[in-house]
Structure formats: structure tokens, C-alpha cells
Amino acid sequence: MPNDVLTLNAQALELHATLQRGRIDRITQPEKDEVFFTVRAGGRNHVLVISANPNAPRIHLTRTKKDNPYAAPAFLMHLRRHLLGGTVEHVRLVGDDRIIEFAISARNDLSDTVSYRLYVELMGRYSNLILTDSTGHITDALRHIAPDPNQLRAVLPKLRYQLPPQRKIPLTSSGKTRALLDFTGGDLAKYIVSTLGGLATSTAFELLFRAGLSERTTSLNEEEAERLSALIDEAYLGPNGSLFAPCHSVSATGAPEDYFLFPYTYSGRPTQPTDSIGEAVRLCAEAKDRATSLSAGAKLITTALKAAVKKHTRGLAAAEQKLLECAEADTLKLYGELITANLYRLTKGMTSATLYDYYEDCDRTVPLDVRLSPAENAQAYYKRYAKQKRTVAISKEQILTHRAELEYLASVSAALSLATEPKDLLAIEQELSEGGYLKKQGKSDKKRQESPLAPLQFAYKSAIIFCGRNNLQNDNLTFRLSREGDIWCHVHDAHGAHVLLRGSDSPDAIRTACEIAAYYSNLKQSGKALVDYCSVRHVHRHPSRKPGMVTYTHYNGADVTPMAHTELQKEETNGN
């Protein structure tokens, strides 16, 4: 993502237009390096998120709500003390670098009006939030930097705030054209990034492409340097320039991936337009946050699933091996019977005896223990037979149990692959905790316990389609929310969501419900999928009683193409 001076300047201009004269009503800090400001401006509440995360520094308006820690961090309390109730006077880019300045007027403890400056430095691992007073001295910062010969500056309370030293030529400087003329060969894009301040490499490539130049150009003449310089000036104007066309690209899964001040045509990547550069940043940042949260949350679940699968796979193999070892149980019983029938012919000390097998009408050699009498040999065979018979019964029961467990764990794994939000993971965690597969983490969390098990809802004409995304939702949907006359759908012979169709039994409605069931299943990526559907009254709990596991009868099948039908999706409710 080109988080460079051009992008941040455009964001500053947009934020100034939106937040100027706005009142700061609320400040929160949900993450250690992320601060939310609620600003009342233009008759609306705007939530501004500022993140100094070294891996993804950003600033944008957001609609996302985050839970806050129980104890407010010291820096948050400092911001609240000085800025709550304050007015945003202006927002602008400063220092020709990736630094946005918020000028805020607020009242101090004596009710006097005081001016503050909040500097948002979005410079990778050097990102920071720094608050200064009217004299330019630091009152506090998110990250303190102690005086050190290896540091270019110190950031501590009571020190005077200094902009980071800039060794490159600012983009607003008239000297950038001369610097471009000084290029004597090599990689032109790399030269631009190392010479001009605050440009991303991808932005340099795009500017060269639009100027009709190549990164392999050996030198620039005056006309080429001026053309490139004029493009930079136009891009710097942001919303006031002719180049401004904010957009974002999408990943293979359809999620927002990169944001751009204008389409970066040199790469040939398709883009989707947005209303503002801030909106493009928001879409990409929140998509990345969701992916990161899902990855972190899924790690614990994945570890628990792997451990459980390993345990039951080993148990299944051991039970099957014991079953193989007991394959001679009937032979042991036969030996006992043959010895008993021929006791009069046998004597102690014999190593074996050839006896007539009246079942197969043939002679059979029966091994004997020389230390035992014929009767004791018969009893020994009967005891071994009885033991193996018990082992066979137990092993068969264990095989059924292990197979049912592995089938259930596969359904949980399928639900995990369908998770799109952190709250989906909470439901899966709850399910695994209740099943004893996952240890509860610390004290119980009320917010987690109160999260509703609401399925997705779709509106198709006069009908409603419900779709579960995990086993608890599926269970709740099929056995609690269902009504007489509902049609139940599930992908055939694969793991996936339970889908309920209510209010219609038309072929088109059933096909739509089946397409949704196919999409939210293991067969999502396949071109075609067979989906079973039946009346919900023919669906019953599986004998294992595992959440989401069912048996069903009197069903029909439909070959459909998996489709998400997002155009039909409604906002989530409790499903009642």
C-alpha cells in the first residue's frame, strides 16, 4: 500500500474538510498502538482511528467498533484530560513528510482556552502520536524515545517537539526538477525514491509510466524532468487535482487489498473506485485487520483440532489393530470344542493332536500345551476366546466412537474455513470448550457468552433463507428456530452449513437455498455440488449427539452451482 506523502496529504485535506470545527466527544484506546477519536462535526458523529502499528500505520474514519480494555492506558488518560471537549481547528500535512498535524483548541483546568497540536507520525517502525502544548513542548507521546547518540531526536515530555530530520528533497520544493536532471543512469524509480522525500516505490513506477518514461531510462532531459515534476505537483493536490481518483484493488478472494490515490495502471491490476481516499484506506485496513484477527484466533482452534484429530486417529488405528489381532477368536472357540469332544483320546504331554472338525468335515491339527491336561487345554482356549470376544466388542465400539469424533472434528474444521469474522471464531471456541476439546482461557467473559448464535439471513421474494456458519448455529437453526413446513438443505456427503427455507416451496426458492448451502460448504470452490433438501421434520439428531450432526430421510437432491447471493443478504438478527 503506498502510504506515502501524496496519499497522506490527500487524507489530511479530506479530514480537514470533514472534521474542521468538530468537537471531540470521546477518546478510546482499544489497542496499545491505536487510538479512536469520536468527533461531532457537521451534525454527525465521525470516528477517527489513528494507528501507530509499525507494520500497518494508518489514519482514517471508521464504522468499526472495538472493545476497550478494562483499565485505561496512561497515554489515553492524558489525551482525555487535555483534548476531550476540544475543537479541531485544522488538519494538515507538515514537514513535507508522513506527518499529519491536528490543531485542537480546548479548555484547561482553569477553563482557559489552550491550543494543542497532535502530531500523527506514520513512518513505519518510527510511527508515533505526540501531543504538544501551545509553546511547542511535548506533553506526552504514545512512544517515548530517550536521548541516544544513535537516535536522531528524543521524544519525552517537556522536551520541545522537533520534526524528524529530512535529508531528501521535499515534493513541494522547486528544486526537485533540478534533482531529476541530475540523474545519470541506473534505476530511475529507485533514484526518485531515494532523492525525493516521502514517495513509495509503487508511486514512483506509476508516475514514470504516466510520464511516458521507463525505470531503465539512462538520463532525463529538461522537458522530461519538468513533465515528471508537474505530475508530482498535480498528484500532491489530492482532491483538488485532476489526477485524484481514489480506488482499491481486490485479492483473489474478493477482499480489498491495496489503496491508491489514483489507479496504478502500470501494474495492470484491476481496481474499484471509492468515494474518497480515506474510504479506500478504511476498506483495506479493516480487511487486513479481519484477516489478522482471524489468523490469530484460528491458531488456537487449529492447534486444538490437530491435537484432537491426532488423538482419535491414533485411537482408531489401535482399535482396528486389536480387531485384526482378534480375528482368530472363532478358531480358539473351535479348538476348545474339538478338545472337549475328544478328551478320551488325549493325554497330558502331547504337543498337538489331529482331530476331526465336524463343522468343515475335515481333520484339523490343534496345538496343545504339554504342561496342561487335555481339559485344562480346552479351558485355556475358552478363556482366550472369551477375552478376545470382549476385546472385539470393545474395539468395535471404539472404532465407531473414533470415527464419529473424526467426522465431527471435520465438520468443525469446515466451519472454521467458513469463518469470516472474529465473532464466528468465538462460537467455534465456545463449542470446542463445551465439548472438552479446548481449555477455557482464564476467567469467563460475559461479552463472549452473550454473543448471539444468529445465522445469516437472506430475503428471496416473500421467503426467508437462514444459513448457519458453525455447528452451534446449525444446531440452533435446525432444532430451535425451525418451524413446521420449513425446508432444510445440506450439501450431500460433505461438511457445510445447515440452510433453512421458510415461506416458500417454489423450485426457484429451493434452488436458491441449495446454492447458498453449496457455497457455505467444503464444495464452495467446485463448479457443481449436489445438495439434499427435505422437510425439517425429517431431520433428526445424530446418535452421537454432537452439535450440528444430524441424520435425515425423505430427501431430494439438486445439482447447483455454489453461490453466495450477497445481494439477498439481510442484516443479522436473532433469527426469531
- State pLDDT tens for residues 221-276: 999 999 999 999 999 999 998 999 999 988 877 788 899 999 988 877 888 999 99
**Residue 1 clears pLDDT 80, i.e. is over it:** no
- Euclidean distance between CA atoms 102 and 34, whole angstroms: 16
- State pLDDT tens for residues 121-159: 998 888 999 999 999 999 999 999 998 877 778 999 999
State the pairing for strand pair 271-273/550-552. unpaired
* Residue recorded with cell 513512518: 123
User: What's phi and psi for 424, nearest 5 deg?
Assistant: -65, -40
Question: What are residue 219's DSSP bridge partners?
Answer: none
pLDDT of residue 281: 93
When pLDDT is averaged across residues 17-31 and rounded to a whole number, the result is 95
Eight-state DSSP code of residue 521: B
When pLDDT is averaged across residues 46-68 and rounded to a whole number, the result is 91
pLDDT of residue 441: 57
Label residues 206-237 b or e (16+ Cβ within 10 Å = b).
bbbbbbebebebeebeeebbebbbebbebbbe
pLDDT of residue 18: 95
pLDDT of residue 56: 86
pLDDT of residue 270: 85
**Residue 450 clears pLDDT 60, i.e. is over it:** no
pLDDT of residue 483: 92
- Domain residues of the chain, as ranges? 5-141, 173-202+212-237, 304-451, 453-570
Q: How confident is the model at residue 2 (pLDDT cuts 50, 70, 90)?
A: low
Which range, of 243-252, 255-264, 286-295, 330-339, averages the lowest pLDDT? 286-295
pLDDT of residue 447: 44
pLDDT of residue 449: 45
- Euclidean distance between CA atoms 65 and 62, whole angstroms: 8
- Euclidean distance between CA atoms 385 and 398, whole angstroms: 20
- Euclidean distance between CA atoms 542 and 550, whole angstroms: 4
* Residue recorded with cell 502520536: 129
Look at the alpha carbons of 244, 261, 248, 128 in this order and tell me if their dihedral is positive or negative. Answer: negative
Give me the half-sphere count of Cα atoms (radius 13 Å) on the Cβ side of residue 297.
20
- Euclidean distance between CA atoms 426 and 472, whole angstroms: 11
Q: Which amino acid is at 89?
A: E
Label residues 295-317 b or e (16+ Cβ within 10 Å = b).
eebbebbeebbeebbeebeebbe
Look at the alpha carbons of 252, 253, 258, 259 in this order and tell me if their dihedral is positive or negative. Answer: positive
Look at the alpha carbons of 70, 76, 82, 87 in this order and tell me if their dihedral is positive or negative. Answer: negative
Could you tell me how far CA 80 lies from the centroid of its own chain? 32
pLDDT of residue 382: 93
In CATH, what is the architecture of 5-141?
Roll (2.30)
- Euclidean distance between CA atoms 180 and 166, whole angstroms: 18
> Pick the residue with more confidence: 253 or 220?
220
Helix (H, G, I), strand (E, B) or coil at 242: coil
Q: How confident is the model at residue 85 (pLDDT cuts 50, 70, 90)?
A: very high
Give me the half-sphere count of Cα atoms (radius 13 Å) on the Cβ side of residue 301.
26
Helix (H, G, I), strand (E, B) or coil at 225: helix
Look at the alpha carbons of 72, 76, 77, 80 in this order and tell me if their dihedral is positive or negative. Answer: negative
Q: How confident is the model at residue 466 (pLDDT cuts 50, 70, 90)?
A: very high
Neighbours of 521 (CB within 10 A): 24
Contact 230, 215 (CB under 8 A): no
Question: What are residue 196's DSSP bridge partners?
Answer: 169
Q: What's the chain's average pLDDT?
A: 88
When pLDDT is averaged across residues 319-334 and rounded to a whole number, the result is 88
Contact 575, 465 (CB under 8 A): no
pLDDT of residue 304: 87
pLDDT of residue 327: 83
E strands within 52-210? 58-62, 87-93, 99-107, 113-121, 128-132, 138-141
pLDDT of residue 184: 86
**Residue 429 clears pLDDT 70, i.e. is over it:** yes
Q: How confident is the model at residue 571 (pLDDT cuts 50, 70, 90)?
A: low
- Euclidean distance between CA atoms 454 and 472, whole angstroms: 10
Q: How confident is the model at residue 446 (pLDDT cuts 50, 70, 90)?
A: very low
When pLDDT is averaged across residues 58-85 and rounded to a whole number, the result is 91
When pLDDT is averaged across residues 489-493 and rounded to a whole number, the result is 94
| Helix (H), strand (E) at residue 532 | strand 529-535
| Helix (H), strand (E) at residue 231 | helix 222-236
| Helix (H), strand (E) at residue 540 | strand 539-541
The x, y and z cell numbers of residue 164, run together, are 524528524
What's the angle, vertex CA 186, arms to CA 216 and CA 221, rounded to 5? 70
**Does this model's pTM top 0.75?**
no
Which range, of 13-22, 136-145, 420-429, averages the lowest pLDDT? 420-429
pLDDT of residue 453: 56
Task: Tell me the range of 416-425, 432-441, 464-473, 554-563 where mean pLDDT is highest.
Answer: 554-563
When pLDDT is averaged across residues 358-363 and rounded to a whole number, the result is 89
